[in-house]
Amino acid sequence: MKKMIIGAIVGGLILFFWQFIAWGLTNLHYSNMQYTPNQDKIIADLSQHLTEDGTYFIPRATPDAGMEEAEALGAKLVGKPWAIVSYRKAYSMSMPMNMTRGLIINIVSIFLLCWILMKIPDLDFMTAFISSLFVGLIGYFSISYIDSIWFEINSIPYLIDAVVQFGICGLWLGWWLTRK
């Protein structure tokens, strides 16, 4: 259990520091949060038309629309502009709480990975490393890449995240968990 806890804490910190580098120092994810000089006008317009916090796919059929109505709208919209908007009525950034929650989730995630790895009989360095990479890629393929298919977002930064952070974690866990 001690190996799993230490592995999880150090591995969680590896993920945390990579995320800081990717989102803060290198701005790797800029393509998913671009700047527009029209932001003040857009926010003012959204504030007039959106009353609830949420993520909106625009345009979209009404929630009670039948399949025929939704398909007709889809056909009508081909080649026209669309947007995904995450709207909040009030800006609120709790950096310490967000960072704490992120670190805790990273540690829990790597604890779960350690649990899986420790179930492998005769675990060796390469198996731990490759398995860690595969876990990162599974997360990328089943979440970020699927989103990029449907919503046409750039998922390459998330692929880089998956490979780098789970690759480094795999190196750590391959060394740590296989020590006698």
Convert the pLDDT of each residue in 9-63 to its tens digit: 999 999 999 999 999 899 898 888 889 999 999 999 999 999 899 999 889 888 8
Sign of CA dihedral 19, 3, 132, 151: negative
Q: Is 54 helix (H, G, I), strand (E, B) or coil?
A: strand
Asked if residue 164 is part of any domain, the answer here is: yes
Query: Which range of residues forms the domain containing residue 169?
Result: 2-33+93-176
* Stated pTM of the model: 0.84
Asked if residue 139 is part of any domain, the answer here is: yes
Q: Which helix (H) or strand (E) holds 47?
A: helix 39-49
Asked if residue 62 is part of any domain, the answer here is: no
Asked if residue 128 is part of any domain, the answer here is: yes
Tens-place pLDDT, residues 103-155: 999 999 999 999 999 999 999 999 999 999 999 999 999 999 999 999 889 99
Count of domains for the chain: 1
What span, in angstroms and rounded, lies between the C-alpha atoms of 145 and 154?
9
Q: What is the mean pLDDT of the chain?
A: 93
**Exposed/middle/buried for residue 155 (C-beta within 10 Å: 0-12, 13-18, 19+):** buried
Asked if residue 19 is part of any domain, the answer here is: yes
Within 10 angstroms of residue 74's Cβ, the number of other Cβ atoms is: 12
The residues, ordered by sequence, that sit 6+ positions from 59 with a Cβ below 8 Å of its Cβ are: 73, 77, 82
Q: What pLDDT is attached to residue 31?
A: 86
